[in-house]
Amino acid sequence: MRSPFHPEPPYTHGQPERTAVLLCNLGTPDEATAPALRRYLGQFLSDHRVVEIPKLVWMLILHGIILRVRPAKSAAKYASVWTPEGSPLAVWTAKQATLLRGWLGEAGHNVLVRHAMRYGNPSIASQLDALKAEGATRILILPLYPQYSGTTTASVFDAVYTWAASTRNVPELRFVNRYHDDAGYIEALARTVESHWKENGQPDQLVMSFHGVPERTLHLGDPYHCEARKTGRLLAERLGLREDRYQITFQSRFGKAKWLEPYTQPTIEALAQQGTRRVDVICPGFTSDCLETLEEINMEVREAFLHHGGKEFHYIPCLNDTHPWIGALSRITQQHLQGWPTTVAGADAQEDARKHALAGGAPQGRCPVAH
């Protein structure tokens, strides 16, 4: 009878146990080409967390219309922001994982750190396999979504659960659901804004644009809308802005259903028509610059503002690899790692114990730790 478990990396009894962190982001195509976008969008838009239309109906629409038309258009948009290193989202997420590992090491934590994409590469399953191969028996899953949503955060958890369902020896798992009101995260956002304003002066209006979701998700109990608005309010308070100096909006609407309002582009067009000369836009829900910030906001929305009479449009970059953000990410990680052995000294002691057990002459083929 075929085993229900997928092939796993070879396991050595007595292998030292490690603690690991897996940073998870949304995903990106491998290339800015129509075939790559077709693969990526096919995976992304097939997720029932993302599109909650009855599956049979949606599959007919997805494969019969969307995947025939949208990949070429999306590829052109990706090409406009692609870098020599690849997709901006992939580049920044990889850098965040590398820097987080360094920050945790400086704090005395000897942990493995990898990054994964919910859609595309490197996949969550492949990175969990890699961590197991490196000896990880405790893994913290940390989505790079500050605000919880069933469409994003829960989908990451789904991928982890699916991997675990076909894994024989499942590591101990922890999940970070949200950090939308974390003081370090809010401070990192504020410093990004203040740094921009120090060089360019302040705008007439600061627009905080969050990724949108269908309005029905709010009524079904998704906390995303409330958490996004709280992030915006806390950031405004930290910046000392009056209520008439900022707006919270939602972007990236897809389809004809009603999504969370107010929508970003119509709001910014209205500001221009009302005589607002300068608008600055920041996207607090995105921890890395990506298509939605670099193309949708800094190109499409910029053009719309200027076309409707606005004079100055400033896009404030995402947190990316900024010092305050990686510091905040490190503190969030350490908070959720509490109780797990992570110190360098602890790891060294564990390795010494393993070597001692092996030196004791455990019978071949048997577990040293059991004797």
Residue 7 C-alpha from the chain's centroid? 28
348 Cβ contact list (under 8 Å, min separation 6): none
Where in the chain does DSSP place strands (E)?
18-28, 112-120, 136-143, 172-175, 205-211, 246-251, 278-282, 312-316
CA angle 31, 254, 147 (to 5 degrees): 85
Sheet containing 112-120: give its strands across: 112-120, 18-28, 136-143, 172-175
User: Which residues lie across from 86 on neighbouring strands?
Assistant: 83
User: Is 356 marked as binding a ligand?
Assistant: no
Q: Binding site annotation covers 292?
A: yes
- The encoded tokens of residue 288 equal 């890395």
Say if CB 119 and CB 44 are below 8 A apart. Answer: yes
| Residue 166 neighbours by CB under 8 Å, 6+ apart | 4, 5, 6
6: which DSSP letter?
Answer: P
Task: For the chain, give the longest Cα–Cα distance.
Answer: 82
Q: What does the H/E/C string look like for 318-342?
A: CCCCCHHHHHHHHHHHHHHHCCCCC
- Known binding-site residues for Fe(2+) equal 211, 292
Q: Summarize the annotated binding site as residue ranges.
A: 211, 292
